[in-house]
Chain A
Amino acid sequence: MKELPDETERQLVEDELPKGMERRLVLRLLSHWRTLGGERVFPSFAELEPVRIPDMWDNCLVLDVAGYQDNPVFRSIGSDLMAYAGMDLVNRHVTDAPQNTLVAVSVSYAAEVLRKGVPISRGGEFFKPDGVRVLYRSILLPMSDDGKTVSGLLGAANCREVTDDQVD
């Protein structure tokens, strides 16, 4: 039997999520961000509880921008994202993230989010050092501890490696 790992993984994801639930990580996190914020423009990190988003937290990251506007600092990185980084980036700057990794591409537009003050979602592709093509989708969401100034960014990203037999 021909091995179809991607299809198998997708089927497992569908089984894990309740029926009718949005499957796309980016939109699920955006929905959660809106729920946290309520009537406010920005939600607060104080209200962010990883235990409430167990299906997403491993793909999430938190950037601290207070005092680090030009080069935010990673304060938290989910285990799935960390695996793609290949190094521990907690308390390290965005510019320390290795190039051509999921973490690096998913925070590459942080400055734009800070400038516009609204969620931004980006997707695209990059190539790993071994030449494997990776398709990714990410989102960065502004957070505020005082309700007015963006103090950090909540982000999420996932990806899929495109193997030779999947190329058209």
Chain B
Amino acid sequence: MSTFELQVYQGSGWQFDAYFDSRDMVISEAQRMDSAGRYMGVRVLEEFFNEESQVTSYRTIFSRLRKNETIGAPQKAATKSSAPRDTARRSRPKSKRKKSGGNVTLLLFAGIAMVVIGIAAIILLREYAGAY
């Protein structure tokens, strides 16, 4: 059985805000708090206890952080599971910039090619017309 920790991020780091045993409820509350904009960040950690191994695990199921905010790492066990996701989110803008640069080059070549083809067509037509 899982429990859900609702955490908020303020100046000093992530802090516990509330506990729920309903995923729907905690997500609703997290979304509402994020919309309200009172905190710099809101996240939900799902905590599940494995009866066989007697190990408690955490995973982030919701996370919103205001842009340009750096994160402290007081909850190392929890952030380990979320680090790849956060990293992935930060790297997406870089790949988007590369893609747009490539598009401009492609358009430039296409434009030059069309001009060259157009000039060639005009020359050919003149020669063809001249023959008649």
B19 touches A119 (CB 8 A): yes
Would you call the interface of chain B mostly helix, strand, loop, or mixed?
mixed
Q: Chain A contacts of B114 at CB under 8 A?
A: none
**Residue count of chain A within 8 Å CB distance of chain B:** 15
Q: Chain B contacts of A24 at CB under 8 A?
A: 25, 28
B18 touches A30 (CB 8 A): yes
B28 touches A27 (CB 8 A): yes
Q: Is B86 on the interface with A (CB-CB < 8 A)?
A: no
Q: Chain B contacts of A120 at CB under 8 A?
A: 18-20
Q: A23-34 interface mask toward B, CB cutoff 8 Å, 1 = contact, 0 = none? A: 010110011000
Q: A116-145 interface mask toward B, CB cutoff 8 Å, 1 = contact, 0 = none? A: 101111111000000000000100000000
Q: State the 9 A-B residue pairs at the shortest beta-carbon distance, nearest first.
A: A119-B18, A120-B19, A121-B20, A118-B16, A118-B18, A122-B21, A123-B22, A27-B29, A118-B17
Question: Could you jot down 9 A-B contacts, CB within 8 Å?
Answer: A27-B32, A116-B19, A118-B16, A118-B19, A119-B18, A119-B19, A121-B19, A121-B25, A122-B21
Interface residues of A, Cβ cutoff 8 Å to B: 22, 24, 26-27, 30-31, 116, 118-124, 137
For the complex with contacts A116-B16, A120-B20, 9 further pairs of A-B residues with Cβ separation under 8 Å are A24-B28, A26-B25, A27-B25, A27-B28, A30-B18, A118-B16, A119-B18, A121-B18, A121-B21
Interface residues of B, Cβ cutoff 8 Å to A: 16-22, 25, 28-29, 32
